[in-house]
Amino acid sequence: MPLPLLALAVASFGIGTTEFVIMGLLPEVAADLGVSIPNAGMLVSGYALGVVVGAPILAVLTSRLRRKTALVALMGLFVVGNVLCAVAPGYGTLMAARIVTAFCHGTFFGIGSVVAANLVPPGQRARAIALMFAGLTLANVLGVPLGTALGQWAGWRSTFWGVVAISVLAELAIVLWVPRGGREEPSNLLGEFRVVRRPQVLLAMGISVLASASLFSVFTYITPILREVTGVSPHGVTMVLLLFGVGLTLGNLLGGRLADWKLMPALVGIFCVLVPLLAAFTVTGAWFVPAVATVFVWGIVAFALVAPLQMRVVDEASDAPNLASILNQGAFNLGNAAGAWFGGIAISAGVSYAEIPWVGAALALLALGTTLLSGSLERREAALQGEPV
């Protein structure tokens, strides 16, 4: 891996750890702060909404900065947010700190995706984006299980102090290894926002929302699902999360290759596998080996969508790649928040943990329909312009 991509991957590892580790610590956080598990689960939604709100704001604030300067500043904000998480005295303060931390997320991944894509030849752009996101998936292989184990042993606050240390190392790696690059031309933000209003760009972002909502409607509550439905011990949950992270890593790399091959057919195929897989989890979740196998395959399939969806948005908004890439990260996290909310609403309405994967399957089916609609419109536009379909 080239050193600039490695620096971006280290940073995405820290960001992924702080985003996802809270799910492995929901019971500990809920007990310590005196709230219910569904309320603790809203910390996931709060972070995701912080990304959604922060993405357009920081897109404006960083629009005239060199990309490297913007990345360094964003990681500094991320360090501050995690320090606030570690010292938060109560639920409200922790929620606010999570939102501060989340503000840098969408803009960092958005700018980082453009930087990664520009470091390689055109035919390898999606794979370069996937390599940057490899840090995010490795966060689930190493960061989340180790952070969960650390939080269960030394208290959940110790996990956030660990993320602070990782983030400082990531910032140093960016300073040392990411090329400076030239200053971008002064951007016409109004013109760029017009670009991202194109129907295909909006459809691509809509697919990102639905794909993430499908994942997080189930993954937010994976710990209680594994404990109460499958009967896995707290230590066993850590091991299952580790295996899930391996699946995410494999899926991320697979998705990058598929996107560089044939992007839209890849998206359709992945969703066609995801829908029945989540439906099957409502049955396999009752037994240890089938449940673990399903979780592993689910990780592969779910994260195979990330690089293709990011590449789709950048391609369709080529006149404003920074802004489109940043806003698509907001779309992903809007889906994260919506998914956690849908799952929490379902649980509060009496849906059992065993039945929660039906929510994810329904959202994945909507994403498949939106993907087919986007492909149909693309073929129609090509036919009208006399291009090969």
* Per-residue pLDDT tens digits for 108-131: 888 888 888 888 887 788 888 888
Three-state DSSP class for 232?
Answer: coil
Q: Which CATH class is domain 3-384?
A: mainly alpha
Q: What residues does each domain of the chain span?
A: 3-384
SS3 content of the chain, % helix, strand, coil (to 5): 85, 0, 15
What confidence category does residue 143 fall into, taking pLDDT thresholds of 50, 70 and 90?
confident
Q: Mean pLDDT for the chain?
A: 86
Q: Which two tokens stand for residue 109?
A: 């991944």
The residue that leads in pLDDT, 49 or 277, is 277
Q: When comparing pLDDT for 49 and 128, which is higher?
A: 128
Q: Among candidates 156, 181, 145, which has minimal Cα distance to 72?
A: 181
- The model's confidence at residue 183, banded by pLDDT at 50, 70 and 90, is very low
pLDDT for the residue numbered 140: 73
Residue 186 has pLDDT above 60, yes or no: no
Q: How far apart are CA 67 and CA 295, in angstroms?
A: 37
Q: How many CA atoms lie within 13 A of 7 on its CB side?
A: 22
Q: Which residue has the tokens 């240890």?
A: 288
Integer Cα distance of 356 and 301 in angstroms:
18
**The pLDDT value given to residue 190:** 62
- First and final CA of the chain: distance in angstroms? 36
Q: How many residues are there in the chain?
A: 389
Q: How far is CA 89 from CA 33, 39, 122, 351, in A?
A: 8, 16, 49, 32
Per the model's pLDDT, the better-predicted residue between 206 and 104 turns out to be 206
Q: Are residues 156 and 140 in contact, defined by beta-carbon separation less than 8 angstroms?
A: no
The pTM for the full model equals: 0.79
pLDDT at residue 305 in the model:
93
Q: Dihedral sign, CA of 305, 311, 317, 322? A: positive
Task: Classify burial at 151, counting beta carbons within 10 Å of its beta carbon; exposed 0-12, middle 13-18, buried 19 or more.
Answer: buried
Dihedral sign (CA 79, 82, 83, 84): positive
The residue written with tokens 């779910």 in the block is: 302
CA–CA separation, 125 and 122 (whole Å): 5
Range with the lowest mean pLDDT among 125-129, 134-138, 194-198, 229-233?
194-198
For 340, what's the count of Cα atoms within 13 Å in the CB-facing half-sphere? 24
pLDDT tens-place string over residues 215-241 = 989 988 888 899 999 998 888 887 888
Q: Which residue has the higher pLDDT, 307 or 188?
A: 307
| 185, pLDDT greater than 70 | no
Cβ burial, residue 32 (10 Å; 0-12/13-18/19+) = middle
Q: From residue 84, give the alpha-carbon distance in Å to each of 77, 80, 106, 205, 320.
A: 11, 6, 19, 31, 34
One-letter amino acid for residue 216 of the chain: F
CA angle at 65 for the pair 206 and 19, rounded to the nearest 5° = 45
Work out the angle at residue 263's Cα, subtended by the Cα atoms of residues 261 and 264, and round it to the nearest 5 degrees. Answer: 140
If we measure between CA atoms, which residue out of 363, 346, 343 comes closest to residue 210? 363
What are 335's two structure tokens?
Answer: 């889906």
Q: What is the pLDDT of residues 52-106, one digit of tens each?
A: 788 778 877 887 788 888 899 999 999 999 999 999 998 999 999 998 888 888 8
- For CA atoms 70, 215, 307, 190, give the dihedral sign: negative
Residue 208, token pair as written in the block: 């990102």
Residue 187: predicted pLDDT: 56
Tell which residue, 141, 143, 166, has the closest CA to residue 303: 141
- 23 pLDDT above the threshold of 80: no
Name the pLDDT band for 47 (thresholds 50, 70, 90).
confident
How does DSSP classify residue 120? S
